[in-house]
Structures are given as C-alpha cells and as structure tokens.
C-alpha cells in the first residue's frame, strides 16, 4: 500500500512537470506511505511521478518510482498483486531477468510482455501509473472492484493524477469547489458515483477501468465488468460448496503474502470470523486479531467477537469507542474520506486502524465483499419480502416479515401497515423498476435533500440521480434474476463508493494500514456470480452456500446469528443529554452564520434540526443522516474550500481537533 501522484503535459506548450509541485502533492499522502518517498521527473519535463511508500513486500528493493534498466518505463503503484510470484515464474521461464523481489517490478515486466492487457492477469488490489517514455504515453489502471482509489484532473495544460483528491488540490492551478450534483448523489446513494467526485473538475477512475493518455488524447475503457448469466447452468450443491471452500482458502493464502506481520479484523459476524479462521488454518503463527467495541450495548458486538477469539485462540485487542471519541475524531475522519458522510460508522474504524498500527501491524485481512457477492445483505431479503407482499398487498401477515427483518429499528416497528406499504414501495407498479430493490433506501436518504439551500435544490431540480443510474445499467441487467439485479446495484454503487472507500481504504490508510479482502478475490466474485439465486440466498437464509462451505470453521452460534449491520451512534455522538455539543467545532459549523456562509444548506431547517438534536429527539434514520451529512459537508468545505476558516479557532483545550 502506498500513495501515488503524477503530472503529464497535455500539449507541447504546457509547463514542464515540476519536482517541487510533485513533492507537495505526495507530501499530502504521507499517511499512505510513511516509510519512504520519491520523485522522478522526465528530463524533458513531459512527465513526473511521485510516490509515498508503505513497505510490505521486498522491504529493501521495492523503492518507487521504479524504472526499467533502459529507463523506457517508469511506474508508481499503490496496492498489491497477490499472484506476483506465479507471474514472475512465468516471466522468468520466458527469459525475463528481475532486479528486485517486488510485485511492482512484476507489473512493469508484465506490461512489457502484454501491454495494456497485463491487468487481466493480475489477482490483486491496485492503482498504478506507467509512463511509457518510448511512446510518450501514460497508462493508468484500477483494480476490478475498486479497493484502491485513483483520481485525475486537468489543470494548467497538465493532466494530474493521485491516490486522493487532496494531493491534486496541492497543484496551484486546481481550486477546490463543491459539485452540487455530487451532493445530490451523496444525499441519495450515500456517495458520488464514479467518475463523479465531490469536487468540480476532479474525476475518479471507475473500478475495473484503464486510462491512456497519448498525443494529448485521453481514452478510458473497462477491462472487467461484474455480470451474471441470463440463465444459470445446473449446479451440484456439493460441488459448488467444495469449489467455494477451495477458492476462499486460496484467496486467503495469497493475501497472507507479506514481509511484515499480518493480522485480521473481527467484527463478530460470519464474514470476518470465516476470514480469521482461514488465516488461522493457513498460518502456523498465532494470529493477532483486532476489534472495535462500543459503550452503547445497542451497537456493541464484543460478546460475539470474544466467542470467536476463544474458538480460534487468537491474540486479541479491542478499542472501545465512546460517543466522545466519535465527536473528537470526526473532522479527521471526514478529511480522509474526502466526501460527506451520512453515518458516523467510519469513525470507529479510524480508531481501529490506529490500534492496529500502534500494535506494530501494517496489514489486516477483513470480511468485506461476502454480503455483496454471496447474497448477504438485509436489503436483498427486504426486496424479496416486498415482492412477496406486493403479490397480496391486502395481507396482514406478510408485512410482519419486514418488522422481523429490522428488529433494531424501533421507529419502523411502530408504523402502520399502510405506512410500511408506502415506505417500502409495495405496489405492483414498482415491481418492474430496475432499481426496485434500492428505492426505499434511496428515497429515505433523499429526504435529507430538503435541508439543501434553495439555490442548490433549484440546481438539482432537473437532475434525477436514480434516472441517470437507470441509464447506466447494462442492457443485460433486465434479463437477470431479481437477486442478481440487486447485487449488481449494491456492488457497483455503495461497495466502491462507501464501504471500500469511506469505511475501508481511507480509514485504514489514515494510519498506514493495508486492508486485504479474500472475498473480493476476482475468482471468488466471478464464481459467486455463477451461482443460482437459491445457493446465494435460500428463502430468507442469507449467504446459504458460504455457511455450507465455511460454517464448520467458526462457532455454530456465529453461523446461526442473524445478519447484524455494522452501525455506530449518530446524533448522540454530537450532543450530550444536557444539549451541549461534545466538541466546539460542532456548534461553530452548524451555526446559522456558518451555514449561510457556506451556502449549501438552508439555515432555517438546519437550525430546527440542530435544536431537535440538542433535545435528544433525532431518532429517525432520515434526520440522523441529514445531521451527519450536513456537518460532514461543512467540515469538507472547511478543510478543502476554505482551509483558513474557523476550524482552527475551535480547537479543544487539549490541542485536538479535526485538522491534521
């Protein structure tokens, strides 16, 4: 894991790449790579690359930017190619000579041998840039599902790219400005949908895509797409169980490759427990595991975590997250996320990665991806129940299934059947909507858009995020079964845009920790997409095949446990019971003066929401999301648009604040 940045001239008259600017850009990514840094500029000034290194493989020989011996190719790379040893052996058999033991050099040599198609051979999580001096050509690539970030922009006649937007904003020709349309997507999907980002003029290279810049022209294309068959072949359940077991074991084995110790996260759920068990199987060393716990029992899963720790005999550490902790670190969390947050859930993970780093670990394996690709989320069960109810909308029994699905949502339990039918879109006319599975979630989130300022709402009035997403769906989507349709939407929006970003890469790399995800091995993903729906979800039994394949590895209570979504306190983390703010920046940024100055939100309804939060009356999901979304957007403006604003004046007495 590392941070990368670069500059390439778009035309001959462009300013040459500046070593000083590259140094400033990569300095902004020091948290991604504190072990070493490097800057290279082409003698002609056409191109420049910069790198901040987190040393994990080939600690002595993997320095970057790296070049071939003839200086024809230069590379900066963020991530890991987990099958690099196998690829290296293939290249050596073809007569290729290596000068390092790094996976970075394997990418260079594969590019020499296969050109742009080299990415099709990689099993890993990556974002990399290769400058081909012979062709005066830049080649960028990002991994299949979007584990590692990569952003680009054009400014001052130059093409800029970096691991995070904050590095691009160090370029003197690029200004930070909030894109209202991105806000509209955040307050619908929880995140902007790539290539859109929160900042005007800054674009995200979508997952599974490559970009080439040659002769001043930019071309972007997909090299991989998530897909499902129109009709599923006959699958033997026993064979499928064994195949999934083999794939997960091998995916875990590959992700243990490192020249530093490797640990694992334990959430208390099935997915992380299975990963920890697979690590335990593959390694003779005692496994170190890490968890986050909460003072509020409504969010705490420590009892389940400890059960797995005892079962696997791991050496375990946990960080206890308080309401004050969330408020204290939220500004820093938002700065690293670089997008508004609608939940505080990333904050405990930020604290967890700090625990991992303080324990001397740089690498952890986690369970992300199982829900998306093996049929685990409540939203998939919810869609199935809604379709079941829609066939008999007058039924008094079928809505009980929705109440049982969300026992932790007290406000939902108190609602009438008529309200539930309206809220969950249980109408025959909704069944044919390709976004059917996600409409209730997105409509609830979009309710928070009422707090946007009149100017922003006017600007967004003619823009329909859901309509735009419908147009981007592949034609084959209409032919897939209902579960596959829902999984595709989840895996191409929330997974890369929020789960792997705001809750994943950004929170881990804030403390220089690399997350690795066996369930996101592309072989596991592609195999999951070939499974008939009945093997992904049997009736309302989620992750059916995973439980068959790996359930024996963990305690039976973990396998039987209903899906528990990871959550953290929201409004309660901002205001104490006496109505006082837990941190001074909260009152400052949510004040009428600051809301009006920013201009993105309507001060009057925001003021009413804040007063409601002070009284402890923010209990519904919409108001919680709105409150956190408004505050996090204000923090982003403070950090990036008006960096000399008032946040520094709100530092707490012990010197802590969100600025860093």
3-state secondary structure 448-491: HHHHECHHHHHHHCCCCHHHHHHHHCCHHHHHCCHHHHHHHHHH
**Among 552, 555, 531, 553, residue whose Cα is nearest residue 543:** 531
Residues 331-349: pLDDT tens digits?
Answer: 999 999 999 999 999 999 9
Taking every pair of C-alpha atoms in the chain, what is the biggest distance, in angstroms? Answer: 75
pLDDT of residue 647: 42
Most confidently modeled range among 71-75, 280-284, 640-644: 71-75
Bridge-based pairing of strands 262-265 and 288-294 is parallel
Question: Using 50, 70 and 90 to split pLDDT, how confident is the model at 430?
Answer: confident
To which residue do tokens 């026993």 refer?
238
Predicted confidence at residue 643, as pLDDT, reads 63
For 178, phi then psi, to 5°, come to -75, 135
State how far the Cα of 68 lies from the Cα of 311, in Å rounded to an integer.
48
Quote the strand ranges of 285-373, DSSP E: 288-294, 315-321, 363-365
| pLDDT tier at 13, thresholds 50, 70, 90 | low
Q: Apex CA 633: angle with CA 494 and CA 487, to 5°?
A: 5
Averaged pLDDT, 249-261? 97
288-294 and 315-321 beta bridge pairing:
parallel
d(CA 369, CA 541) in angstroms, rounded, equals 17
Query: What pLDDT sits at residue 322?
Result: 97
pLDDT band at 575 (very low <50, low <70, confident <90, very high): very high
CA distance 380 to 386: 10
What region, left, alpha or beta, does residue 311 occupy, with left being phi > 0 and alpha being psi -120 to 50 degrees? alpha
Predicted confidence band of residue 649 (pLDDT cuts 50, 70, 90): very low
Task: Give me the half-sphere count of Cα atoms (radius 13 Å) on the Cβ side of residue 157.
Answer: 9
Region 594-619: mean pLDDT is 96
Tell which phi-psi region holds residue 658, choosing left (phi > 0), alpha (psi between -120 and 50) or beta: alpha
Write the pLDDT tens digit of every residue in 343-388. 999 999 999 999 999 999 999 999 999 999 999 999 999 999 999 8
Mean pLDDT of 267-282: 96
Which residue from 100, 26, 111 is spatially nearest to 66, judged by alpha carbons?
A: 100
| Coil/strand/helix, residue 62 | coil
Query: pLDDT tens digits, residue range 150-165?
Result: 999 999 999 999 999 9
Q: What is the mean predicted confidence (pLDDT) over 312-323?
A: 97
Please give the DSSP secondary-structure letter assigned to residue 151.
E
Indicate whether 51 pLDDT > 80: yes
Q: Rounded distance, CA 512 to CA 157, Å? A: 33
* Of 537, 474, 525, the residue nearest 495 (C-alpha): 525
DSSP class of residue 231? S
Question: Looking at the predicted structure, is the pLDDT value of residue 653 above 50?
Answer: no
Residue 254: pLDDT band with limits 50, 70, 90: very high
pLDDT for the residue 286: 86
Mean pLDDT (whole number) for 250-254:
98
Q: Contact at 8 Å (CB) between 386 and 373? A: no
For residue 68, report the phi and psi dihedrals to the nearest 5 degrees: -70, 160
Judge whether 296 and 270 are in contact, CB under 8 Å: no
Q: Residue 392: what pLDDT?
A: 85
pLDDT at 655 over 70: no
Q: In this predicted model, what pLDDT tens digit does every residue of 513-553 receive, in sequence order?
A: 999 999 999 999 999 999 999 999 999 999 999 999 999 99
- Kindly provide the b/e burial profile for residues 304-317, where b requires at least 16 CB atoms within 10 angstroms of the residue's own CB: bbbbbbebbebebb
pLDDT > 90: percent of the chain: 85
């Amino acid at each position: 894991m590392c941070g990368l940045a670069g500059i390439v001239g778009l035309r001959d008259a462009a300013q040459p790449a500046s070593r000083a600017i590259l140094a400033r850009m990569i300095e902004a990514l020091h948290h991604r790579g504190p072990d070493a840094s490097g800057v290279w500029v082409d003698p002609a000034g056409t191109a420049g690359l910069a790198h901040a290194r987190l040393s994990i493989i080939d600690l002595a020989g993997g320095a970057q930017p790296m070049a071939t011996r003839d200086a024809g190719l230069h590379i900066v790379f963020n991530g890991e190619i987990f099958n690099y040893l196998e690829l290296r052996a293939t290249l050596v058999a073809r007569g290729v000579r290596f000068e390092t033991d790094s996976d970075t050099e394997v990418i260079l040599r594969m590019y020499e041998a296969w050109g742009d198609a080299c990415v099709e051979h990689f099993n890993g999580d990556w974002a990399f840039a290769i400058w081909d001096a012979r062709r005066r050509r830049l080649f960028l690539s990002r991994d299949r599902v979007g584990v590692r970030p990569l952003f680009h922009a054009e400014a001052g006649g130059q093409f800029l790219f970096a691991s995070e937007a904050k590095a691009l904003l160090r370029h003197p020709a690029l200004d930070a400005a909030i894109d209202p349309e991105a806000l509209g997507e955040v307050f619908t999907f929880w995140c902007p949908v790539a290539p859109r980002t929160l900042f005007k003029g800054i674009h995200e290279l979508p997952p599974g895509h490559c970009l080439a810049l040659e002769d001043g022209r930019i071309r972007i294309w997909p090299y991989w797409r998530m897909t499902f068959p129109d009709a599923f072949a006959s699958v033997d359940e026993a064979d499928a169980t064994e195949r999934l077991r083999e794939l997960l074991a091998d995916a875990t084995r590959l992700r243990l490759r490192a020249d530093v110790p490797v640990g694992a996260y334990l959430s208390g759920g099935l997915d992380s427990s299975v990963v920890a068990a697979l690590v335990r199987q593959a390694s003779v060393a005692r496994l170190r595991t890490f968890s986050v716990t909460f003072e509020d029992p409504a969010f705490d899963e420590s009892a389940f975590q400890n059960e797995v720790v005892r079962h696997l005999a791991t050496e375990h550490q946990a960080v206890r997250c308080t309401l004050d902790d969330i408020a204290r670190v939220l500004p820093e969390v938002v700065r690293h996320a670089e997008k508004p947050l609608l939940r505080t859930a990333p904050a405990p993970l930020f604290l967890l990665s700090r625990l991992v780093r303080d324990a001397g670990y740089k690498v952890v394996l986690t369970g992300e991806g199982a829900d998306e690709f093996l049929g685990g989320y409540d939203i998939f069960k919810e869609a199935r129940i809604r379709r079941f109810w829609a066939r008999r909308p007058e039924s008094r029994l079928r809505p009980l299934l929705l109440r049982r699905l969300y026992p932790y949502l007290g406000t939902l339990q108190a609602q009438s059947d008529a309200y539930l039918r309206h809220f969950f879109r249980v109408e025959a006319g909704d069944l044919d909507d390709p976004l059917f599975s996600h409409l209730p979630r997105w409509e609830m989130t979009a309710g928070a858009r009422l707090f946007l300022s009149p100017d922003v709402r006017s600007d967004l009035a003619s823009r329909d995020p859901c309509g735009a997403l419908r147009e981007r769906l592949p034609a084959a989507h209409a032919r897939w079964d209902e579960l596959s349709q829902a999984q595709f939407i989840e895996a191409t929006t929330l997974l890369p845009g929020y789960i792997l970003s705001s809750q994943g890469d950004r929170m881990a790399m804030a403390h220089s920790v690399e997350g690795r995800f066996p369930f996101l091995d592309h072989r596991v993903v592609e195999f999951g997409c070939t499974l008939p729906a009945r093997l992904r979800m049997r009736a309302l039994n989620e992750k059916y095949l995973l439980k068959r394949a790996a359930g024996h590895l963990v305690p039976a209570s973990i396998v039987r446990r209903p899906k528990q979504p990871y959550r953290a306190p929201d409004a309660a983390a901002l205001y104490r019971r006496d109505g006082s703010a837990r941190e001074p920046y909260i009152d400052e940024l949510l004040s009428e003066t600051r809301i009006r100055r920013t201009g993105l939100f309507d001060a009057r309804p925001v003021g009413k929401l804040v007063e409601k939060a002070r009284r402890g009356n923010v209990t519904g999901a919409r108001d919680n999301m709105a409150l956190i979304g408004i505050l996090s957007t204000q923090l982003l403006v403070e950090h990036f648009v008006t960096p000399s604003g008032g946040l520094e004046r709100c530092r707490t007495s012990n010197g802590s604040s969100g600025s860093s």
